[in-house]
């Protein structure tokens, strides 16, 4: 039985989480296992921030860098059974490389982003592999850059499946067969020049799916700090329930509407190869996992709700009471496309067109500037978009009664409400 496990950074943020990961890995050590890790805690955000500080010559760069470094060093010091000074020396070396990268100003932004942000996974990979080895597990830390081959689309690189397949079968497969547990970094890859690339935010799950697909793994598991896939965010709804089975299609739909389930990119290779993805509870590892597969039977069993906060509603109308017809819509979409602003909801009426998207001061400014040359534009900010999938009457009433809705849209499976909730 070949397994690929992915542990997210939120799970590894302290010694308790790391020890839990160790006990899970130990339980499965007798069969081929690949462990994919992502950056610890909020490290990816912190690294993005360091890059920004470096680019703007901000005086806080050094202090922010040191605080990220101390966070990791403190974590190492809290781990049992590892040789602390040895691991700290190795991690400090990675931090020195990070510092050099931050101070190398010649780089193009996207190139620098991948080089810098990938340190999060490199550091967590080192810590996890060292901790597992200290448990006398036979571990091989295998850099993702030697496995995941990509093109040069820095920050959102596409996988070169042919080369990646070659790398995995040539280098990784024999190690697995020798009984080694492979630890590798999620999210990270490299282009044909050996430059570091990344697969896009939240890309670690995708790495697990790539490796799992190529190895034809029997189990691909994403460990999470919730009981499995839920019908609502348990932080917002205390009556959230676990979904036992959902289809690939439903998972992609939920992700599209903003549920932080699994990125659609992750689902695609699994769907193509008909591999099931398990989402399992990190804290209660023996409970039944949620399964994402081609099984559509339970998709409409449980209504689901997705809350997207911080939305802007833009209402666009013509300056001379003309209809908003195809020609105008074409111009409007062109502007959204040019500025890479994703539309979450839209509605057309005779003389106006309404669009909802994630609020962002920059987005608002560029849109206002581009659109107000041609149209009258009004906007509301700070709104919330509720999406209800497979809703029923009671579920609709529960989540929308007494709410002042600005825009509403319904079809057979999905109802959306935008308002000031």
Q: List residues near Mg ion by CB under 5 A.
A: 9, 38
Place of tokens 């970094």: 185
> Pairing state of beta strands 345-348 and 245-247?
unpaired
State yes or no: residue 9 binds ligand ASP (CB under 6 A).
yes
Q: Tell the smallest beta-carbon distance from residue 39 to ligand ASP (Å).
A: 4
Exposed (0-12), middle (13-18) or buried (19+): which is 189, by Cβ within 10 Å? buried
271 binds, among Mg ion, ligand ASP, none (CB under 5 to 8 A by kind): none
17 binds, among ligand ASP, Mg ion, none (CB under 5 to 8 A by kind): none
Q: Tell the smallest beta-carbon distance from residue 392 to ligand ASP (Å).
A: 34
Q: Give the torsion sign (CA, 23, 27, 29, 34).
A: negative
Q: Tell the smallest beta-carbon distance from residue 82 to Mg ion (Å).
A: 23
* Positions in 17-76 near ligand ASP (CB under 6 A): 38-39, 44
Which is nearer to ligand ASP, 202 or 253 (by Cβ)?
Answer: 202
Q: Tell the smallest beta-carbon distance from residue 42 to ligand ASP (Å).
A: 8
Question: Which residues touch 327 (CB under 8 Å, ≥6 apart)?
Answer: none
# binding residues, ligand ASP (CB under 6 A):
12
Which is nearer to Mg ion, 21 or 313 (by Cβ)?
Answer: 21
d(CA 49, CA 44): 9
| Residues 356 and 316 sit within 8 Å (Cβ to Cβ) | no
- Token pair of 95 as six digits: 């931090």
Which is nearer to Mg ion, 18 or 383 (by Cβ)?
Answer: 18
390 binds, among ligand ASP, Mg ion, none (CB under 5 to 8 A by kind): none
Which is nearer to ligand ASP, 109 or 166 (by Cβ)?
Answer: 109
Q: Identify each DSSP E strand in 208-327 by its residue range.
A: 219-224, 245-247, 277-281, 290-293, 304-318
Q: Tell the smallest beta-carbon distance from residue 163 to Mg ion (Å).
A: 25
Exposed (0-12), middle (13-18) or buried (19+): which is 23, by Cβ within 10 Å? exposed
Question: Which residues touch 190 (CB under 8 Å, ≥6 apart)?
Answer: 145, 146, 148, 149, 150, 196, 197
187 binds, among ligand ASP, Mg ion, none (CB under 5 to 8 A by kind): ligand ASP
Which is nearer to ligand ASP, 186 or 228 (by Cβ)?
Answer: 186
- Token pair of 288 as six digits: 């039944």
Q: Which residue is nearest to ligand ASP (CB)?
A: 204
d(CA 102, CA 92): 15
* Positions in 194-223 near ligand ASP (CB under 6 A): 201-204
Which is nearer to ligand ASP, 9 or 189 (by Cβ)?
Answer: 9
120 binds, among Mg ion, ligand ASP, none (CB under 5 to 8 A by kind): ligand ASP
CA distances from 42 to 21, 48, 71, 132 (A): 18, 10, 11, 22
Helical ranges in 135-203 per DSSP H: 161-167, 173-177
135 binds, among ligand ASP, Mg ion, none (CB under 5 to 8 A by kind): none
Q: Tell the smallest beta-carbon distance from residue 147 to ligand ASP (Å).
A: 16
State yes or no: residue 186 binds ligand ASP (CB under 6 A).
yes
Contact residues toward ligand ASP (CB under 6 A) are: 8-9, 38-39, 44, 120, 186-187, 201-204
């Amino acid at each position: 039985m070949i397994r690929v496990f992915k542990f997210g950074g939120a799970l590894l943020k302290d010694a308790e989480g790391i020890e839990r990961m160790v006990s899970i890995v130990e339980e499965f050590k007798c069969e081929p296992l690949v462990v994919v890790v992502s950056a610890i805690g909020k490290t990816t955000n912190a690294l993005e921030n360091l890059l920004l500080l470096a680019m703007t010559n901000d005086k806080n760069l050094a202090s922010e860098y040191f605080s990220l470094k101390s966070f990791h060093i403190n974590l190492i010091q809290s781990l049992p059974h590892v040789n602390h000074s040895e691991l700290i020396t190795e991690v400090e070396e990675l931090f020195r490389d990070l510092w050099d990268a931050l101070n190398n100003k010649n780089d193009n932004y996207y190139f620098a982003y991948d080089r810098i942000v990938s340190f999060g996974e490199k550091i967590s990979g080192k810590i996890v592999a060292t901790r597992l080895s200290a448990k006398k597990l036979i571990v091989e830390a295998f850099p993702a850059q030697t496995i995941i081959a990509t093109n040069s689309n820095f920050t959102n690189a596409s996988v070169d499946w042919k080369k990646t397949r070659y790398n995995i079968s040539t280098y990784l497969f024999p190690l697995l067969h020798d009984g080694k547990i492979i630890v590798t970094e999620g999210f990270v890859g490299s282009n044909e020049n050996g430059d570091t690339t990344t697969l896009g935010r939240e890309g670690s799950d995708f790495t697990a799916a790539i490796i799992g697909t190529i190895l034809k793994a029997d189990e691909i598991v994403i460990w999470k700090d919730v009981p499995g896939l839920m019908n609502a965010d348990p932080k917002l709804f205390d009556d959230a329930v676990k979904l036992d089975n959902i289809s690939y299609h439903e998972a992609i739909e939920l992700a599209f509407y903003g549920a932080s389930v699994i990125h659609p990119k992750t689902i695609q290779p699994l769907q193509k190869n008909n591999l099931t993805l398990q989402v399992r509870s990190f804290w209660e590892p023996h409970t039944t996992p949620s399964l994402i597969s081609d099984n559509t039977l339970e998709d409409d069993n449980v209504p689901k709700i997705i809350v997207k906060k911080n939305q802007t509603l833009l209402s666009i109308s013509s300056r001379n009471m003309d209809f908003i017809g195809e020609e105008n819509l074409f111009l409007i979409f062109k502007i959204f496309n040019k500025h890479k602003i994703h539309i979450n909801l839209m509605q057309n009426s005779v003389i106006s067109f309404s669009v909802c998207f994630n609020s962002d001061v920059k987005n608002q400014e560029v849109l206002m500037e581009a659109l107000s040359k041609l149209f009258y534009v009004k906007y509301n900010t700070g709104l919330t978009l509720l999406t209800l999938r497979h809703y029923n009457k009671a579920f609709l009433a529960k989540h929308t009664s007494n709410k002042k809705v600005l825009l509403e849209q319904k079809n057979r499976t999905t109802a959306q409400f935008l308002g000031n909730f």
